[in-house]
């Protein structure tokens, strides 16, 4: 599942210049880590010769390429659709990422005019590669960042290194009203309190996705009581080590911390009543895989209670592209409409997304609940 290749479709009117150059650059720079296609709403008969020549100068051979017709199927298959002036002709599907690159049109221009367009496209493609993956690179950078955060006693995750964001009720322990006797909560890197909306009952089995130092796991363990069980899942050894030590110190024994990925949850199908997560889904390179995994391990009728960062629709592309901000929870955040769509696609209904507080100029925190189809878990 983690080797899902992002598929990128470049679209312009004639598929004879800009979209061909972009596809050529992405294939050249990312190789087989991405699937690349290009198409045009009114394809020309052949690629602009000045475009071919300009790309040949940088070692990219477009001799075999021909303009192709944009089809609904090609848009549907793509994860990211990048338009360059095709306007209304490009069909819109929910759950895809659409970007529009404003670039000069090389149609009818000589090679001198095409070269700067070619170079600008290269810079945009390099930025795109940093942003879309591959998924394993993003995960490794996220892991390294959180290992460092665990070693440095918490500071510097969601929201960047600013300690004020942790003091001022934007991230971390200050969001919790309840008395927080556990060291686990002192290490919180969350952006809300998912147990507030989880409605946990005695005897339930709970899974905390990306459990960090274990604060939400310990709160949940007390709510489900000795007949219940809470799993914390995290990929970062340094976090797991602290979480286990915190549970031991708190004398809470109905918990188990598992090492693993959100994208490959090490639990059987239909084994969990409630999946929690606190400021973690936004960090995943492919949220659809994570939500499908959550649905797989939940029992029919099981529910989710997440706290997460939600991006405003107006978040600029350069903020989205910034890996530093990605590992700090901002750039990878879904918009509310995408989050709803991805949850629905994974089989959830009764979706509620309630904004709680701003965390960034282009993002806010929210509490998210939904139920998986099927018989009630309890
Ligand atoms: C922002 S911290 C939140 C930790 C905890 N939920 C809290 O509220 O303090 C994100 C945590 O998710 C973990 N994580 C991020 N991506 C993950 C993935 N793909 N698989 C497993 N764990 C992941 C990180 O190691 C880190 O501990």
CATH (domain of 301): 3.40.50.150
In-domain check, residue 168: yes
4: DSSP letter: P
Q: How far is the CA of 263 from the centre of ligand 1 (A)?
A: 12
Q: Provide the 3-class DSSP secondary structure of residue 77.
A: helix
In-domain check, residue 30: yes
Catalytic, out of 90, 191, 279, 329: 90
Considering only the C-alpha atoms of the chain, give the largest distance between any 2 of them, rounded to a whole number of Å: 76
- Domain end: 133, 162, 194, which one? 133
Same-domain status, 184 and 254:
yes
In-domain check, residue 196: yes
Question: Which ligand 1 atom minimizes the distance to the CA of 277?
Answer: 6
In-domain check, residue 128: yes
Minimum CA distance residue for ligand 1 atom 4: 212
Q: Is the pTM of this model over 0.85?
A: no
Same-domain status, 296 and 148:
yes
Provide the pLDDT for residue 112.
Answer: 96
Minimum CA distance residue for ligand 1 atom 13: 210
CATH number of the domain encompassing residue 32: 3.40.50.2300
* 157 counts as catalytic: no
- Domain end: 133, 168, 188, which one? 133
Question: Which ligand 1 atom minimizes the distance to the CA of 147?
Answer: 25
CA distance between the termini of the chain: 31
Q: Give the range of the structural domain holding residue 290, as residue numbers without chain letter.
A: 137-372
Q: Which two tokens stand for residue 62?
A: 């477009």
Same-domain status, 126 and 141:
no
Provide the pLDDT for residue 219.
Answer: 93
Q: Which residues line ligand 1 (CB under 6 A)?
A: 139, 142-143, 146, 157-158, 188-190, 210-212, 215-216, 234-236, 239, 261-263, 278-280, 283-284
CA–CA separation, 275 vs 14, rounded Å?
Answer: 47
Return all residues near 9 (Cβ < 8 A) that are at least 6 apart.
37, 38, 39, 74, 75, 77, 78, 80, 81, 82
Same-domain status, 172 and 316:
yes
Same-domain status, 108 and 75:
yes
Nearest C-alpha neighbor of 86 from the set 6, 15, 181, 192? 15
Same-domain status, 121 and 56:
yes
Q: β-pairing, 80-83 with 7-12?
A: parallel
Q: Which two tokens stand for residue 252?
A: 């809470």
Please state the domain count of the chain. 2
Same-domain status, 160 and 305:
yes
Cα→Cα distances 293→143, 213, 297, 366, Å: 19, 22, 6, 21
In-domain check, residue 61: yes
Same-domain status, 93 and 222:
no
Minimum CA distance residue for ligand 1 atom 14: 210
Same-domain status, 246 and 100:
no
Between helices 215-224 and 237-250, what is the axis angle to 10°?
40
* Helices (H) then strands (E): counts for the chain: 13, 12
* 86 counts as catalytic: yes
In-domain check, residue 378: no
> Is the backbone peptide bond immediately before 357 cis, with ω within 30 degrees of 0?
no
- Domain end: 111, 133, 155, which one? 133
Same-domain status, 213 and 282:
yes
Q: How far is the CA of 344 from the centre of ligand 1 (A)?
A: 23
Residue 338: how many other CB atoms lie within 10 Å: 19
Provide the pLDDT for residue 343.
Answer: 96
CA–CA separation, 213 vs 187, rounded Å?
Answer: 6
- Percentage, residues of the chain above pLDDT 70: 85
Same-domain status, 114 and 150:
no
Same-domain status, 113 and 189:
no
Provide the pLDDT for residue 3.
Answer: 53
In-domain check, residue 377: no
Provide the pLDDT for residue 157.
Answer: 47
Regions of the chain short of the pLDDT cut 70 = 1-4, 86-89, 93-96, 130-131, 133-136, 153-170, 178-182, 321-327, 375-378
Provide the pLDDT for residue 258.
Answer: 97
> What value does the CA radius of gyration of the chain take, rounded to a whole number of Å?
23
């Amino acid at each position: 599942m983690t080797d899902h290749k992002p598929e990128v479709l470049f679209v312009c009117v004639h598929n004879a210049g800009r979209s061909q150059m972009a596809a050529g650059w992405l294939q050249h720079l990312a190789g087989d880590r991405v699937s690349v296609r290009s198409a045009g709403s009114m394809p020309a008969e052949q690629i602009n010769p000045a475009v071919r020549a300009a790309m040949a100068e940088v070692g990219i051979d477009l001799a075999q390429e021909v303009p192709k017709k944009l089809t609904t199927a090609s848009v549907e298959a793509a994860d990211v659709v990048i338009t360059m002036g095709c306007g209304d002709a490009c069909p819109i599907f929910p759950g895809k990422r659409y970007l529009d690159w404003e670039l000069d049109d090389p149609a009818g221009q000589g090679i001198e005019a095409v070269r700067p367009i070619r170079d600008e496209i290269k810079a945009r493609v390099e930025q795109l590669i940093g942003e879309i993956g591959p998924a394993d690179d993003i995960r490794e950078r996220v892991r390294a960042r959180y290992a460092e955060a665990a070693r440095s006693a918490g500071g510097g995750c969601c929201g960047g290194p600013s300690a004020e964001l942790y003091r001022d009720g934007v991230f971390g322990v200050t969001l919790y009203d309840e008395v927080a006797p556990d060291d686990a909560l002192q290490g919180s890197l969350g952006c809300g309190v998912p147990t507030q909306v989880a409605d946990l009952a005695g005897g339930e089995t709970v899974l905390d996705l990306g459990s960090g130092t274990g604060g939400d796991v310990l709160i949940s363990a007390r709510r489900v009581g000795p007949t219940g069980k809470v799993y914390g899942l995290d990929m970062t050894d340094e976090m797991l080590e602290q979480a286990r030590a915190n549970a031991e110190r708190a004398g809470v024994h109905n918990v188990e911390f598992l090492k693993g990925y959100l994208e490959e949850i090490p639990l059987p199908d239909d084994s969990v009543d409630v999946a929690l997560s606190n400021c973690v889904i936004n960090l995943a390179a492919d949220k659809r895989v994570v939500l499908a995994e959550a649905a797989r391990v939940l029992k029919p009728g099981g529910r989710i209670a997440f706290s997460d960062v939600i991006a405003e629709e107006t978040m600029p592309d350069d903020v989205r592209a910034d890996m530093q901000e990605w590992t700090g929870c901002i750039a990878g955040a879904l918009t509310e409409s995408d989050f709803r769509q991805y949850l629905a696609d994974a089989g959830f209904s009764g979706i509620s997304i309630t904004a709680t507080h701003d965390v960034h100029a282009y993002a806010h925190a929210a509490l998210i609940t939904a139920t998986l189809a099927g018989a009630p878990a309890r």
